[in-house]
Amino acid sequence: MTSLSIKEVKVTSVLIVTALLLSCSLFLGSQSAHAARNYTNCPETIYSMLFVDPPNPVYGKTYVKLANKIPDSNVTLYSQDENNQDKCAILGQSVANNQTWNSVTDVSQADHLIRIYADGPVKSADVYQSTVKLLVLPEPGLCESVDSECHIKYQGHSGVLKPILQTGATDMIAIYTVKPINSSTIKEVAYFSDGSYLYNDAKKQIGPVNRNYLADGKHTVVTEVTFTNGQKMLISQTIDMGKDYSGFTTVKSYYYKSHNRYLYIIATVVIFIIVSTLLWLTRTIHQKREFAKDHGIDHLKAAEITKEDPKDKIVVG
């Protein structure tokens, strides 16, 4: 019994020591991550800065862009300490513009950002629009490249992946995130030409553009792929249909784009009948005139018809 008790004591001691070591490592790891952000007193101008409370955890490669009409500015992002709202840490700094996404920081998944502040840009924008925009890529490699858009390849097609807005419409800082699409399925595939809707693919597959919908000339055709996770991929291409002087290509495109195609059929039949009737009448009148001219009938004049004078009548009896 004594030896058994010693074994139990040893096992218990090992478990306690292991638990203590794990707790210390987690605590130290948390403290190191916490300290790595170098929390200090928030700037005195913190309450005049732009801010946002992220509705969802923010972590990953982060890019910054300014709203339209905002001049290029140095942007500094701050994070507020979740345990002490008087403490802030600099997340990153970058020169931002309103055209391209510029890398500003890489937020660790262990970070818990309860409020993000931004200082630097002119604090003016259109009504109900954010001044600063943040693009967050939670997983590396989601975008092959990032400039003004997130460029990706999907099923051999190159396009741009539109991020999802996570914050409210009136927030000063807009946070966009990009989610993986390889695990999602296609919900809808729609085609647009020069900004106008053409048609939806019934099979929900990305295929070549049906050129029957296009009139003559050059067109910018966009294939909009909507995934089940709510994201959209845009595939843009330029298609030149050439010049059709007969107008057949344009008429055909109107027919295919029409939701009431039977009206075009009826209109085409009616127009054909009217044109055919007019041609028949014109031909008939022309043939009659030619016949009269060939037989000299057009030079003949009918004899004048005179009325009988009652005085010329002979009365008998």
Q: Does any domain span residue 89? A: yes
* Nearest Cα to Cα of residue 116 among 52, 184, 33, 63: 52
Confidence of residue 254 (pLDDT cuts 50, 70, 90): confident
Q: Are residues 172 and 61 in the same domain?
A: yes
CATH code of residue 201: 2.60.40
Measure the CA–CA gap between 208 and 20, rounded to whole angstroms. Answer: 62
Condensed to tens digits (0 to 9), the pLDDT of residues 194-253 reads 999 999 999 999 999 999 999 999 999 999 999 999 999 999 999 999 999 988 998 889
Q: Are residues 170 and 192 in the same domain?
A: no
Condensed to tens digits (0 to 9), the pLDDT of residues 97-150 reads 999 999 999 998 878 788 999 988 776 666 778 999 999 999 888 899 999 999
Q: Are residues 78 and 171 in the same domain?
A: yes
Confidence of residue 2 (pLDDT cuts 50, 70, 90): very low
Q: Does any domain span residue 21? A: no
Q: Are residues 106 and 194 in the same domain?
A: no
Strand ranges for 210-290 from DSSP E:
218-227, 232-240
Q: What domain range includes position 136? A: 40-148+163-177
| 235 bridge partner residues | 223
Count how many domains the chain has.
2
pLDDT confidence of residue 317? 53
Q: Are residues 108 and 171 in the same domain?
A: yes
Q: Are residues 216 and 133 in the same domain?
A: no
Q: Does any domain span residue 190? A: yes
Condensed to tens digits (0 to 9), the pLDDT of residues 257-309 reads 886 555 556 767 788 889 888 888 888 887 777 777 766 666 655 556 566 66
Are 152 and 159 in contact by the 8 Å Cβ rule? The answer is: yes
Measure the CA–CA gap between 118 and 131, rounded to whole angstroms. Answer: 10
Measure the CA–CA gap between 204 and 197, rounded to whole angstroms. Answer: 16
Measure the CA–CA gap between 134 and 123, rounded to whole angstroms. Answer: 16
Residue 113 is classified by DSSP as -
Q: Are residues 132 and 251 in the same domain?
A: no
